[in-house]
Amino acid sequence: MMLLIPQSLVDEIIKMNELIPIIEQSQIEYSQGKCIQPDKRGVELGERIGLLEVFIGYLSKSETMGVKILNSRKKNPANGRPLIYANITLVDSDTGEPIALIEGGSVTASRTAAASAVATKYLSRENSETLALIGTGRQGRTHLDSILEVRPIKRVSIYDINPASAISFKQESESKYDIEIEIASTVEHAVRESDIVQLCTTTKDPVVFGDWISAGTHVNSIASYAPTVREVDNEFILKAKVVTDSRLDALKGAGELVIPMNEGLIRENHLYAEIGEIASGAKTGRSNDEEITFYKSMGMAVQDVAAANYIWKKALAANLGQQINLYE
């Protein structure tokens, strides 16, 4: 039997304080070589259309395996549809039987935010109180939730190219959290005054520049995971200690690194560590309060599978979802 878990249940089940340590453990296991994660497989449907991607992951310690299918269409938001449609199939590692089909868009948003929280926990200053959040869509919402779990944020400065989105985000978040939220007039205004900067954009070109960043700032970037696009510029990369989730993926697919490497400004060793190496204690995180740190998220199948397994187990325990038999 396979358990069908729709988006409404995924959102009900996920608790960020529970998900963050699960994603942290998946990153540790990945960096210790205890996971299998083949290269992403995808079909590019044209720059103005979108793409189809397949993510496959296996965590040997928990014997958890699965596959995520993700479709993105750039025109969708303008037509009132999600940018991304995704689903995750969990598989019994012993028999090969599909055991769960889970809506993947919410899983992706939450596991990405949980991964950023892990990075923020190890790379930002412990006394960080101000956050700049650039991009106020679904990822912006999950990231505010996750970062509040790991740092004592008192003020959030937000910016979105769509003013209505920023206004809605402010109203929704201030009713949910006991924090001050201001809408910045520019990205620069938001960034210059913040201890932590969270980028949740779909940009092709840098939106954050090195001369805006003060000593001690930590920046997370989750978008633009392609070798020709980036959220921060070369000057920033040259100033920062750079950490990622997957060294292999980042060195070939993160524009923030590939572009300055191609221009001869940095070498591969400018990428300091994987976050799993830092979380396990194999490498140190932040060295001092003046250091500028940068976490580049590439998005990983092992994160998807670990999060899906957590959701499946909670749904089973609470008797949630619908059991279906594909093979009767």
Domain holding 285: CATH number? 3.40.50.720
CA 310 to chain centre: 17
Per-residue model confidence (pLDDT) at position 252: 94
Looking at the fold, whether 135 and 73 belong to one and the same domain comes out as no
Beta strands in 37-151 (DSSP E): 41-44, 50-59, 64-73, 84-92, 98-103, 130-134
Per-residue model confidence (pLDDT) at position 268: 98
Per-residue model confidence (pLDDT) at position 276: 98
Looking at the fold, whether 91 and 71 belong to one and the same domain comes out as yes
Q: What Rg value do the Cα atoms of the chain yield, rounded?
A: 19
Q: Which residues of the chain have pLDDT under 50?
A: none
Looking at the fold, whether 130 and 277 belong to one and the same domain comes out as yes
Within a domain: 75? yes
Residues 69-106 as b/e (b if ≥16 CB within 10 A, e otherwise) read ebbbbeeeeeeeebbbbbbbbbbebeeeebbbbbbbbb
Looking at the fold, whether 281 and 150 belong to one and the same domain comes out as yes
Per-residue model confidence (pLDDT) at position 328: 84
Q: Indicate the number of domains in the chain.
A: 2
Within a domain: 120? no
Contacts of 163 (CB under 8 A, 6+ apart): 183
Looking at the fold, whether 172 and 258 belong to one and the same domain comes out as yes
Per-residue model confidence (pLDDT) at position 90: 98
Q: Residue 35: name the closest of 24, 44, 27, 43 by CA.
A: 27
Within a domain: 118? no
Per-residue model confidence (pLDDT) at position 223: 81
Looking at the fold, whether 183 and 160 belong to one and the same domain comes out as yes
3-state helix, strand, coil in the chain (%, to 5): 40, 25, 35
pTM of the predicted model over 0.85 = yes
Looking at the fold, whether 97 and 140 belong to one and the same domain comes out as no
Looking at the fold, whether 62 and 129 belong to one and the same domain comes out as no
Q: Express each pLDDT in 191-211 by its tens digit.
A: 998 999 999 998 889 999 999
Q: Which amino acid, 82?
A: P
Residue 8: give its domain's CATH number: 3.30.1780.10
Within a domain: 113? no
Q: Which amino acid, 244?
A: T
Within a domain: 116? no
Within a domain: 198? yes
Looking at the fold, whether 280 and 206 belong to one and the same domain comes out as yes
Looking at the fold, whether 92 and 182 belong to one and the same domain comes out as no
Which domain range does residue 171 map to? 125-298
Per-residue model confidence (pLDDT) at position 47: 65
Per-residue model confidence (pLDDT) at position 224: 64
Looking at the fold, whether 270 and 291 belong to one and the same domain comes out as yes
Looking at the fold, whether 293 and 319 belong to one and the same domain comes out as no
Within a domain: 119? no
Within a domain: 26? yes
